[in-house]
């Protein structure tokens, strides 16, 4: 891949604790990832994004970092990471790691200095109470409750957008910014190929600490949705922060950044603002995953992205949202295969989440098996993120589906055993082998790698567009039957058949038709 490999890259996301247990403690680790890298390479992906494995109290599964330069013993050692990196590069895979730079853990030594007004006093966001002792404003935390917690040693409140144990970092402090960039340089010197930037929208806030206005509408299960988040996040000065990060990456040619965007506002427009020559390379949005999966909705978002600035990384699922075949579909392998085909047809970078290639449905866990503090706070109206984080099923006939020899940290869903890798390896039409076939085919067609996108109206039941003017891509995103007249025979696809000159989707299906 060339210097701009990221433009059409397929990035496979691995959550270490749920991928493969390498030491028999019921928790996935870096050694387990290394043991499965040959499988990842066999998919035909270009890069691997690994979610946090840094030293952490694990209050939020590693998204509460206590040391940005250390591997948590739960996942192994730095030597384990070095071996993983070397093996990945030997297989032609690039490695992207998570940088959680909007907040840290309260167990980070920086926070101890800050709350005691030491030499890092302003490395976090502090504010005085109101005269009545209440928090400085009405901001709310995503995970529930106020976004402010009282620190008696300092006699001030500190800001946290998620858990109280995840204090917000103050990017307006130049010393803090340099310390974070130095941590990034440490991993780039090791040879990592890029960073995924967590919670970019929360990196800066309104310096005047103005109240958020209310958002009209019915009362939701999660109060965070009752405010219009114009002051606690998504600030224009964030572009300056992203430019500083991009300047670091320029020192390491061929490395990239990918920003996570929240559901707030217009994520496509924000992706355009956040990506480009001076900022991030790619951005993906949680908001797009939470939109309807109908022909009209899909067509509208594809049209918006096709005319937007910047570079979007398409993602249908990840560790923060319900599995796509359950959220958008009927959970069937046919639905999974169609969604994989659609993803591979879209313009830009693409993200696959571990198990998505198997068409795994969301695991339905009882309340007493939850580990996610977000889900436990809002059960049962919101069940949290554990259902998409259960262990990968490798073998249908092995204890815990081959993930571990002992009881894992989350149970393997009963429905996942029959979808295990060893089962799908033997079925040429499985979602797994469909992905492999379509990825090989995609790499042979430049129109699908770097061609532009033009929508085609083929009726209200389907989504259709041309890539590069030469490849017509047609999808039936439902279980309803569809018949279409075609200008030519399909060259690839899933879930379709020909009836004379008509293309027939009996239900979920996709077809790729050369047209010029």
144 burial type by CB count under 10 A (0-12 exposed, 13-18 middle, 19+ buried): middle
Q: Which of 251, 381, 457, 499 is catalytic?
A: 251
Dihedral class, residue 284 (left if φ above 0, else alpha if ψ from -120 to 50, else beta): beta
* Side-chain-side CA neighbours of residue 65 (13 Å): 22
CB atoms within 10 A of CB 283: 28
Reported as type and span, the H/E element at residue 48 is strand 47-50
Residue 263 phi/psi, 5-degree rounding, is -85, -5
Distance CA 31, CA 512 (A): 39
Catalytic (active site) residue 251: yes
Length of the chain: 516
Distance CA 463, CA 67 (A): 46
| Contact assessment for residue 27 and residue 74, using Cβ atoms and an 8 Å cutoff | yes
Q: Which of 29, 80, 98, 198 is catalytic?
A: 198
Catalytic (active site) residue 322: no
Give me the DSSP letters along 405-455: SS--SSPPPGGGGGG-HHHHHT-TTSHHHHHHHHHHHHHT-HHHHH--EEE
Catalytic residue ranges: 198, 251
């Amino acid at each position: 891949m060339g210097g701009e490999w990221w433009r059409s890259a397929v990035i496979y996301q691995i959550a270490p604790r749920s991928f493969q247990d390498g030491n028999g403690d019921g928790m996935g680790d870096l050694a387990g990832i290394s043991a499965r890298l040959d499988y990842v390479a066999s998919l035909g992906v270009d890069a691997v994004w690994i979610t946090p494995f840094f030293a952490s109290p694990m209050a939020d599964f590693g998204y509460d970092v206590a040391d940005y330069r250390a591997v948590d013993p739960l996942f192994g050692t730095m030597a384990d990471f070095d071996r993983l990196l070397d093996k990945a590069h030997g297989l032609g895979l690039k490695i992207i790691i998570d940088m959680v730079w909007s907040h840290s853990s309260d167990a980070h030594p920086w926070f101890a200095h800050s709350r005691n007004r030491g030499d890092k006093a302003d490395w976090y966001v502090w504010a005085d109470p109101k005269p009545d002792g209440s928090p400085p404003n009405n901001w709310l935390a995503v995970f529930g409750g106020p976004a402010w917690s009282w620190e008696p040693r300092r006699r001030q409140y500190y800001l946290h957008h998620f858990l109280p144990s995840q204090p917000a970092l103050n990017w307006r402090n130049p010393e803090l910014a340099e310390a974070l960039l130095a941590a990034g340089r440490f991993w780039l010197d090791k040879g990592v190929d890029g960073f995924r930037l967590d919670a970019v929208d929360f990196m800066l806030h309104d310096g005047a600490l103005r109240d958020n206005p209310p958002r009209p509408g019915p009362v939701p299960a999660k109060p965070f949705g009752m405010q219009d988040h114009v002051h606690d996040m998504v600030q224009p000065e964030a572009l300056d922060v992203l430019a500083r990060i991009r300047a670091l990456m320029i020192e390491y040619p061929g490395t990239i950044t990918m920003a996570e965007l929240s559901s707030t506002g217009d994520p496509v427009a924000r992706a355009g603002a956040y990506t480009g020559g001076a900022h991030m390379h790619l951005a993906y949005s949680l908001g797009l995953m939470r939109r309807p999966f109908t022909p009209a909705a899909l067509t509208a978002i594809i049209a918006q992205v096709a005319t937007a600035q910047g570079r979007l990384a398409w993602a249908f699922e990840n560790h923060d949202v319900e599995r796509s075949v359950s959220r958008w579909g009927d959970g069937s392998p046919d639905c999974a295969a169609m969604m994989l085909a659609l993803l591979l047809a879209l313009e830009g970078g693409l993200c696959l989440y571990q198990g998505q290639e198997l068409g795994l449905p969301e695991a339905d866990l009882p309340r007493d098996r939850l580990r996610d503090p977000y889900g436990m706070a809002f059960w049962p109206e919101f069940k949290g993120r554990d259902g998409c984080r259960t262990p990968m099923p490798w073998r249908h006939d092995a204890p815990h589906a081959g993930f571990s020899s002992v009881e894992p940290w989350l149970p393997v869903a009963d429905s996942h055993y029959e979808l295990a890798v060893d089962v799908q390896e033997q079925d040429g039409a499985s979602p797994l082998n469909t992905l492999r076939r379509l990825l090989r085919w995609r790499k042979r067609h430049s129109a699908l790698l770097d061609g532009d996108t033009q929508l085609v109206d083929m009726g209200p039941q389907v989504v259709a567009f041309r890539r590069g003017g030469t490849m017509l891509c047609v999808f039936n995103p439902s279980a309803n039957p569809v018949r279409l007249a075609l200008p030519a025979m399909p060259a690839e696809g899933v879930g379709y058949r020909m009836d004379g000159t008509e293309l027939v989707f009996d239900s979920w299906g996709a077809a790729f038709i050369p047209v010029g």
